[in-house]
Amino acid sequence: MAERVFITGIGAVTPLGIGRVQLWAGALSGKRAVQQLDRFDPSAFRSKVAGQVNDFDPKSLLDRKEIQRTDRFSQFAIAAAQLAFDDAGFTPHNGDPEFGIWIGTALGGVVYAERQYEAYQRQGIRAVHPMLALSVFGAASCCNVAIHFGLHGPSIANSNSCAAGAVAIGDAFRAVRDGVCRRALAGGAEAPLAPLTFGAFDLIRAMSTRNDDPAHASRPFDAQRDGFVMAEAACLLLLERESDVVARGVRPYAEIAGYGLTNDGLHMTAPRPDAREASRSMLAALREAQADPSEVVHINAHGSSTLLNDPTESKAIRAVLGDRTDRVTISAIKGMMGHALGATGAVEAALCAIGIREHTVMPLVNLESPGDGCDLHYAPPTALPLRQPLVLSNSFGFGGLNASLALRAA
């Protein structure tokens, strides 16, 4: 029989902080973690800012051999998994056949491939690391997590662009609910900060050029927004069925109650002007949650800070909420940490879940004056006390992908 599914652990490696406590503290304070990009020389690019994770030390969680056979992308995922287990007070059983892993990523290990190609160009094939072939594919993260902890249930990666983390959580929720597996880790991992990868997005003029003011470069829904800010991050949630939550006596953050996934079927970068499919993903999540739009009190918006996405998402939200739109609080975290592509939806879901349990909506920073078509009721630039029986979290991505998660108070 189908069981309710709850979030009991949160593991995060983000520019806002590492671990659930630091992540929430950073978000709650409205920390602006975007900075001048210093991982490589960005002088050739229009955009020179990013959301970096500067204090990640893989040696604190991985042994020497594991560090040698994994890239930063997979190291982020393993660390996020361990942090989620620690947060939940749960010790995974080596050999567990009922434990699933779902991890989304837009780019996987492409940055590692880029760096190995540089070595190849300089010194030939003998300079290439022998783990290259095993590091670049999208499923490397979930496979390395499975190997690290000895988990034998479903292990599934997706590359659904900027919606990947939310898609992973939605798919894992259904698997646990329907008995495909007993527990799951779900979320996203992304480590895209390298010249060619970064430059590819700069080339299509998708990123902000507010280089003289990095802290205010990412501006969801603001009239002065000029593109997204690329970031790196990983976030995994431990999902457990209700009977196990009760048996363990733990206090969950929130219940995952619904999930919607649609595609605009129109364009690789531009959203549908009528926002039909984005609104349909929200309605599908509500339908699965057996909820009405009138129950929603907070929506975490994708809020990418791009010229086309923000007004289109505003239109989609209005289509779903109708005359209640001006009474529903809209938040967006990308003003604080930038956009970590496939990992961002997982970070946002985690912050929504914590906020539900803490009766608090995180601040929306860098919104000074809403842009044309961005006429919503936004969260203030400081934390907002608010009881949230039902929350929607949106993740929209290149390729017309639209994912929405419905979270309930536990």
What secondary structure letter does DSSP report for 313?
Answer: H
Cα(11)–Cα(347) distance, integer angstroms: 9
Per the annotation, the verdict on 339 as an active-site residue is: yes
Name the active-site residue from 148, 216, 298, 302. Answer: 302
**From 142, 339, 352, 374, active-site residue:** 339
Pairing of strands 401-408, 390-397: antiparallel
For the question of residue 162 being annotated catalytic, the response is yes
Return the bridge partners of 186, or none. Answer: 102, 237
**Cα–Cα distance, 179 to 183 (Å, whole number):** 9
Instruction: For residue 141, give the amino acid letter.
Output: S
Residue with tokens 């009922």: 98
d(CA 269, CA 313): 14
| Beta pairing partners, 190 | 233
Catalytic residue (choose from 143, 162, 235, 352): 162
Angle at 210 between CA 205 and CA 216, to 5 degrees: 125
Of 15, 166, 39, give the one whose Cα is nearest residue 111.
Answer: 39
For 38-43, the CB contacts below 8 A with 24+ separation are 39/193, 39/194, 40/193, 40/194, 40/195, 40/198, 41/195, 42/195, 42/198
N-terminal to C-terminal alpha carbon distance within the chain: 20
**Torsions phi, psi of 121, nearest 5?**
-65, -35
Give yes or no: 302 in active site.
yes
Distance of CA 170 to the CA centre of its chain: 12
Positions annotated as catalytic residues are 162, 302, 339
